[in-house]
Amino acid sequence: MSRSEWVSTLPLWRRCLAMLNWRPVYDIEQRTRQLELKEIEDERLLKQLDAENKRLAELESRLDALLLNAPSE
């Protein structure tokens, strides 16, 4: 959300304060939201990496089984 969009959602008295560029809460809210989005993305990446690790472990165990059962020359 851009600053002008954010200002348009405010009540009149807050718009006047925003015109004076007095908006500490907005900055804090934006930083908090960015941190929340980063945490969500990090969790998603961790789940994706865990799934990939499980898949690779399964493939490795299949390869090990094939190598154990392969006839030796």
pLDDT mean values, one per 10 residues, the chain (73 residues): 79 82 75 95 98 98 91 73
| pLDDT for 73 | 66
pLDDT at residue 4, rounded to an integer = 77
Cβ atoms 26, 6 nearer than 8 A: yes
The burial of 20, by beta-carbon neighbours within 10 Å (0-12 exposed, 13-18 middle, 19 or more buried), is given as: exposed
| pTM recorded for the entire structure | 0.55
